[in-house]
């Protein structure tokens, strides 16, 4: 075991941030500049968005980005901020559990102390093996890595569409992933209070949900039992929307309205100095 005291302390501190009393609210970053902006806003941790990272590096989201490019980005973000970093590693950047373990070793070497790993359309048993491999790699490094097991039953409409059946499938997957070594459970694609409350009651670990326009507030979700909320790719999407609106207005009318609320040059530049 090659225990890293600094990472161990960061990982423990990151885990402690997950509480419904004050849910961890994450505005996901995709590069060093966005990570510095998030940290400067007072965030106690920085999370990456796999979609935003992939887009910024010229790849589509969804297991298309090469692992070495993703790890390089994680390392640069982790080196740029003083708060804990958790990295979205999609489904693990590998075809099998052994490859997932290699990815996790790389994530820890890059300085991150948490990961999101998604099941997508994989069978629960197969994904549980991947989570177990991730946990084993973290244990070998002596770091209590926060493994956030993403369950895509709601996001991708998997399985029986009936509300009761989908809830049962989600809870069953959550239990399997926790047994395999997950620390928390991420269920994107659902924000209605009744379902979120049932998920929080049925999952014996911190619950993370994906939020955006129209979702309940962080405080309201905390009252339902949610310990972590994430904006996912929403922030990156909003940033690229500004690019499109600006370009369209410039081309069509020769004006610059969307730039009125820009972050001042000096302020942004100062975040990247030193």
The CATH number for 98's domain is: 3.20.20.60
Answer whether residue 43 is part of any domain.
yes
81 within some domain: yes
Pairing of strands 228-230, 207-210: parallel
Give domain status of residue 114, yes or no.
yes
Residue 87 domain flag: yes
Distance of alpha carbon 205 from alpha carbon 200, whole angstroms? 8
227-251 average pLDDT score: 97
Predicted pLDDT of residue 159:
75
Structural domain contains residue 248: no
Residue 264 lies in a domain: no
Containing 48, the helix (H) or strand (E) segment is none
Domain interval for residue 40: 5-232
pLDDT at 132: 98
Number of structural domains (the chain) is 1
Q: What is the pLDDT of residues 80-112, one digit of tens each?
A: 999 999 999 999 999 999 999 999 999 999 999
For residue 162, the model assigns a pLDDT of 87
Report yes or no on 220 lying in a domain: yes
Task: Work out the average pLDDT over 30-37.
Answer: 97
Dihedral of CA atoms 77, 37, 26, 223 in degrees, nearest 10, equals 150
Specify if 274 maps to a domain: no
Structure tokens belonging to residue 174: 């959550």
Q: pTM of the full predicted structure?
A: 0.94
3-state secondary structure 215-263: CCCHHHHHHCCCCEEECCCHHHHHHHHHHHHHHHHHHHHCCCHHHHHCC
């Amino acid at each position: 075991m090659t225990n890293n005291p600094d990472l161990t302390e960061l990982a423990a501190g990151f885990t402690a941030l997950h509480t419904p009393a004050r849910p961890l609210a994450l505005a996901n970053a995709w590069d060093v500049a966005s990570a510095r902006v998030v940290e400067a806003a007072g965030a106690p941790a920085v999370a990456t968005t796999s979609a935003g990272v992939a887009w910024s590096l010229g790849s589509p989201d969804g297991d298309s980005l090469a692992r070495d490019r993703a790890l390089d980005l994680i390392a640069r973000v982790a080196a740029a901020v003083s708060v804990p970093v958790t990295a979205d590693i999609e489904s693990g950047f590998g075809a099998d559990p052994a490859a997932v373990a290699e990815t996790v070793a790389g994530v820890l070497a890059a300085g991150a102390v948490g990961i999101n790993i998604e099941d997508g359309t994989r069978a629960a048993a197969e994904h549980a093996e991947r989570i177990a491999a991730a946990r084993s790699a973290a244990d070998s490094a002596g770091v209590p890595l926060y493994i956030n097991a993403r369950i895509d039953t709601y996001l991708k409409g998997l399985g029986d569409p009936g509300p009761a059946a989908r809830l049962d499938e989600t809870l069953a997957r959550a239990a399997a992933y926790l047994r395999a070594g997950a620390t928390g459970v991420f269920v994107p694609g659902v924000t209605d209070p009744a379902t979120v409350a049932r998920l929080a009651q049925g999952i014996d670990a911190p619950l993370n949900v994906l939020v955006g326009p129209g979702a309940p507030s962080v405080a309201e979700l905390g009252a339902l039992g949610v310990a972590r909320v994430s904006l996912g790719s929403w922030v990156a999407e909003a940033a690229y929307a500004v690019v499109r609106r600006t370009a369209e207005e410039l081309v069509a009318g020769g004006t610059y309205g969307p730039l009125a609320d820009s972050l001042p040059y000096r302020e942004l530049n100062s975040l990247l100095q030193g």
